[in-house]
């Protein structure tokens, strides 16, 4: 995996793009995208807020404006941005505002922090398509907004599922998401899964 930068993205590896996604708890989102081919760097962190250098404790108050996110590098020759969005929307509930399961607060909001105009257009078009197809019983509330900042999470949150696989949250919340990825996105899954 590639090491990701702190607050701005200026060392994107050749042939790669970056996207920042919020889909509830970043432990879940990181674990999901670790299973997808073409994703070559993932860092959980905080984005979208007004506080510099927030800590996990700060973000859990719900007052920083930050969401728990993952920032990832992907190779568009190996995975299309639309495929990333499909996995993103299928592995969390994008119809609940500031809530994913038992996790409640603006830090758990569904969000796409786009890094260029092409990502914005694709994300907005895809969102409209999914809403029009009535894939969900309610409209998608995913925030689609320009990327402004990213602060990496503390080391204890990095690679969380792989290091705590037997912890109850991992078994009851994350494991079902990974099983869904394996079933629904077998064509996108890394071979070692």
Q: What confidence tier does 3 reach under pLDDT thresholds 50, 70, 90?
A: very low
Name the β-bridge partners of 21: 70, 112
Tell me: the pLDDT tens digits for 130-168? 999 999 999 999 999 999 999 999 999 999 999 999 999
Q: What are the residues facing 189 on neighbouring strands?
A: 36
| Domain topology for 17-184 | 3.30.1060
Task: Please answer whether residues 141 and 110 qualify as being in contact, where contact means their C-beta atoms are separated by less than 8 angstroms.
Answer: yes
Does the annotation count 25 as an active-site position? Answer: yes
Closest to 20 in 3D by CA, of 181, 105, 187, 146: 146
Of 18, 21, 25, 123, the active-site residue reads 25
Phi then psi for residue 165, to 5 deg, are -55, -30
Write out pLDDT tens, residues 38-50. 998 899 999 999 9
CA–CA separation, 165 and 15 (whole Å): 32
């Amino acid at each position: 995996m590639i090491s990701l930068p702190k607050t701005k993205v200026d060392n994107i590896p050749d042939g790669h793009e970056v996207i920042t996604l919020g889909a509830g708890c970043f432990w879940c989102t990181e674990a999901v995208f670790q299973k997808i081919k073409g994703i070559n760097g993932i860092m959980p962190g905080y984005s979208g807020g007004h506080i510099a250098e927030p800590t996990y404790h700060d973000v859990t108050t719900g007052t920083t404006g930050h969401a728990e996110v993952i920032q990832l590098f992907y190779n568009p020759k190996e995975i299309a941005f639309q495929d990333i969005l499909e996995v993103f929307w299928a592995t969390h509930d994008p119809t609940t505002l500031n809530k994913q399961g038992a996790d409640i607060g603006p830090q758990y909001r569904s969000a796409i922090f786009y890094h260029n105009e092409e990502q914005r257009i694709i994300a907005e078009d895809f969102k409209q398509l999914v809403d029009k197809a009535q894939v969900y019983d309610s409209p998608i509330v995913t925030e689609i907004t320009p990327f402004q900042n990213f602060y990496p999470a503390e080391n204890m949150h990095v690679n969380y599922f792989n290091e705590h696989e037997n912890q109850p949250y991992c078994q009851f919340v994350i494991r079902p998401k990974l099983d869904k990825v394996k079933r629904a996105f077998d064509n996108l899954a890394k071979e070692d899964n």
